[in-house]
């Protein structure tokens, strides 16, 4: 796949953002090429990032497993597996991808572009794994592991403090069904920024009463944050009544 000067500049910008030097820019570009782009531009099936994603998934799992094994010598296999599963989950990887603005560098087909693919968890997480795969081929397992840990050590620390990513929407749904015999309602109250860099604000209501608000780069992220705020408020009120 030919890389023009404009694309080269974007790839160099990304390298600086993640503090990783690539000897082979083609590998990096391939890791950031979604299959929809490859298809729409008439490229071969293997000129998308799925194969690198496959490789990156293995390197990611190994890097995190080794780190957890050494970090927690007294933890049982089951505990280590649970922590690893959370760290390498799609939401966790998508979160890190957003932090490094990975979505800005992905080549997407027009269909995926107009339907918000640049903010979709699955696309971001897959591309994140593909980047790991590209680093593995370019710099070996040591380079891939260094990148993985530079990105995910913080997530492991959050897990230790019970603050890691959770499905707050599901938790809130279960809570409101038990407490109010109803489901929460979510309302987009504000959208700011240009099309390529939008911020959504979502509010949560229970029986038409406002409980919490959250902001994010996608409606899904904003809903999760609003649900978390609502859960915190409900639990606080419940505690006060005791």
DSSP for the chain, written as a single string: ----HHHHHHHHHHHHHHT---S-HHHHHHHTB-HHHHHHTT--GGGSSHHHHHHHHHHHHHHHHHHHHHH-TTS-HHHHHHHHHHHTSHHHHHHHHHHTTGGGG-B--HHHHHTTGGG-HHHHHHHHHHHHHHHHHHHHHHHHHHHHHHHHHHHHHHHHTT-S---HHHHHHHHHHHHHSS--EEEEEEEES-GGG-EEEEEEEETTEEEEEEEESSHHHHHHHHHHHHHHHHHHHHHHT-
Is 50 a residue of the active site? no
195 part of the active site: no
Catalytic residue among 113, 121, 126, 129: 129
Q: Enumerate the active-site residues.
A: 57, 129
């Amino acid at each position: 796949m030919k890389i023009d000067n404009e694309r080269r500049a974007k790839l160099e910008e990304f390298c600086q953002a993640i503090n990783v030097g690539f000897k082979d820019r083609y590998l990096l570009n391939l890791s950031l090429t979604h299959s929809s782009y490859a298809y729409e531009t008439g490229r071969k099936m293997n000129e998308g990032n799925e194969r690198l994603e496959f490789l990156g998934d293995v390197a990611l799992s190994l890097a995190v497993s080794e780190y957890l094994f050494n970090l927690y010598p007294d933890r049982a296999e089951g505990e280590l597996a649970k922590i690893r599963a959370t760290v390498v989950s799609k939401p966790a990887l998508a979160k890190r991808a957003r932090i490094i603005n990975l979505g800005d560098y992905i080549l997407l087909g027009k269909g995926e572009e107009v339907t918000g693919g640049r903010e979709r968890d699955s696309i971001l997480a897959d591309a994140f794994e593909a980047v790991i795969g590209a680093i593995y081929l370019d710099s070996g397992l040591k380079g891939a592991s260094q990148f993985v840990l530079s990105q995910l050590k913080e997530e492991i620390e959050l897990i230790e403090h019970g603050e890691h990513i959770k499905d707050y929407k599901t938790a809130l749904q279960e809570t409101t069904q038990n407490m109010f015999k109803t489901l929460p309602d979510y309302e987009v109250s504000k959208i700011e920024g240009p099309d390529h860099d939008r911020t959504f604000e979502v509010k949560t209501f229970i029986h038409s009463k406002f409980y919490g608000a959250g902001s994010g780069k996608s409606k899904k992220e904003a809903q999760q944050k609003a649900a978390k705020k609502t859960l915190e408020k409900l639990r606080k009120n419940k505690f006060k009544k005791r």
